[in-house]
Amino acid sequence: MPAATRPPFKSSERTGEAAAPDLLAIRNAITSAIDAGVWATTPPPQEITIAGIRALRFIPNGESRGTVLHFHGGGFRLGCPEQVGPFAAALAARCSVSVICPAYRLAPEHPFPAGLSDGWSVLQEIEALDNLPLILSGDSAGGGLAASLAALSTSNTFRPAGLSLLSPWLDLTVDSSSYQQNAASDPIFSAASAREAAQLYLQGHSPDDPLASPLCGSAKRLPPTLINVGAGEVLLDDAKLFHNKLIAENIPAQLHIVKDMEHVAVTRSFELAGAKETFETLVSFISSRLSSTAE
């Protein structure tokens, strides 16, 4: 893989603000759950540092066929690699890939573009050290990061083998109609929580910057893409509209809408409605992309 260049960020990294007590309390609860082994996997992941950024790497039993770089969700202000551990471990085993989950910096202490900058640094280092096919992936806000990184990669001579977006948050303007239409059927996310998360992340930066909201940018040269979303999610329109952009640019794209599935169910628990179906669809997509790259 050719080495990528520094992305043309429209805003340099900025000093953020302190997290509110309620946000810190949620983060502390997540840390306590990690310590209690809530998301533990067997075998445990490798603790690694890539470009100075902590990450977890889940490896297959045998030789790896490729790398999946997955970004966790949490509205850019919450979440960590451990929370997607069981999902990442299962994906590594089924697809014979290494799954790398970075602990990118969170808002409000580190506003846009800090998380994106971390993702780009990790991607650059993987490109430089690994000749295996690379698939970008993310859930919720992490899906937005993955889509932005895919666009940056294609503009810097490297095209990932694929892009998987799970209940992705792709438009930080928070003005799509599905926020109102699916308000009663989405217990996880809402217009109010999206606006709060966007404010903490952007801190005055324009929400329609394509690097923050991939739906506002070009889909040209993006890699083959899988988009998965629940039919009752407030982010349904983000998924549909992004799929339309990909199709308009003749990018191979699959939109997988699952009835009665909650937000990012597949990364939360395989016992949730739609999670197993989503996982099998993702496995099929990754396997097809690895096979196509190998030809």
Catalytic residues: 140, 233
Q: Cα separations (Å) of 277 from 4, 188, 260, 270?
A: 35, 20, 12, 9
CB 101 within 8 A of CB 110: no
Before 108, cis peptide (omega within 30)? yes
How many angstroms separate the CA atoms of 125 and 49, rounded? 11
How many angstroms separate the CA atoms of 180 and 84, rounded? 28
DSSP symbol at 10: S
How many angstroms separate the CA atoms of 227 and 257, rounded? 8
Sheet holding 134-139, edge to edge: 46-50, 53-58, 98-102, 67-71, 134-139, 162-166, 225-230, 253-258
How many angstroms separate the CA atoms of 75 and 19, rounded? 14
Structure tokens at 192: 């109010």
How many angstroms separate the CA atoms of 90 and 99, rounded? 10
Structure tokens at 198: 């966007």
Structure tokens at 224: 């083959």
How many angstroms separate the CA atoms of 253 and 84, rounded? 24
